[in-house]
Amino acid sequence: MNYIERFLSQRKPMINAQSCCIRWYRQINEEYRVLSWLLNAVMANVKNLDLHISIASGSHLTLPSSLLCCTSLESLDMSFHDNGIAILKTPSSFATLRSPSPLKELQLESVRIDESFGNWISSHCKLLKKLTLNDVKGTTRIVITGSSLDMLAISSHDDCLSHLHVSAEILPTFSFSLEIRFP
């Protein structure tokens, strides 16, 4: 693990990374390493980031907002498993972002978001074509407006999601699934 970290940190100023794929299925609390690898990938101007992590039960992983501010990132696929909680923080102030995101594809699975997520998509992701949200938690409402989306798929197992508002010029593919669990 130390070798990978040194390798990434030494190469970041010299390369523009096409893709970075991280699969982490160990049930130990070493989320700081994953965060370090993510930051190194962002600094290497990664275009495609594929992140699948199994988080240790009871632990929390807060993903840095710099990940969403990456000016080279075109595709982001993040999936989190088991009983831990992954929290995706959107940038706190959209006004401080220098340029629109080049993000074209975003897929999130088992991630906790808040209401600012929809605002970030609407105001900063003008090129986003494909948005997939599987089993997202933590918000009662998702509002996405003025989007260039071609595909939107949302599935939730969290009965807290009660308001969904999507406004797009043309949305050829739309899928919505809500699973409500009764005691």
What confidence tens digit (pLDDT) does each residue in 25-54 have? 765 566 777 788 788 888 878 899 998 887
pLDDT of residue 153: 93
Q: Using alpha carbons only, what angle is made at residue 25 by residues 22 and 31, rounded to the nearest 5 degrees?
A: 70
- Residue 176, CA atoms < 13 Å, CB-side half-sphere: 8
- Spatial separation of the C-alpha atoms in residues 151 and 145, rounded to whole Å: 14
- Residue 142, CA atoms < 13 Å, CB-side half-sphere: 21
What confidence tens digit (pLDDT) does each residue in 128-177 have? 999 999 988 888 888 888 768 999 999 877 667 778 888 888 899 999 88
Mean pLDDT of 61-76: 82
On average, the pLDDT of the chain sits at 80
* H-only helix segments in 44-155: 116-124
More confident residue, 36 or 16: 36
Q: How far apart are the first and last CA of the chain?
A: 43
pLDDT over 70 at 182, yes or no = no
Mean pLDDT of 55-78: 80
DSSP helix/strand/coil, 86: strand
* pLDDT-based confidence at residue 125 (cuts at 50, 70, 90): confident
For the whole model, what pTM was predicted? 0.84
- Write down the domain spans for the chain: 2-178
Contact 103, 75 (CB under 8 A): yes
Contacts of 37 (CB under 8 A, 6+ apart): 4, 5, 8, 20, 22
- Residues of the chain with pLDDT > 90: what percent? 14
Query: Which H or E run contains 34?
Result: helix 31-43
Contacts of 1 (CB under 8 A, 6+ apart): 30, 33
Tokens representing residue 73 in the block: 């990132």
DSSP helix/strand/coil, 142: strand
Task: Report which residue type is found at 170.
Answer: I
pLDDT over 80 at 84, yes or no = no
Contact 72, 43 (CB under 8 A): no
Task: Report which residue type is found at 49.
Answer: L
Strand partners, 130: 105, 151
More confident residue, 110 or 92: 110
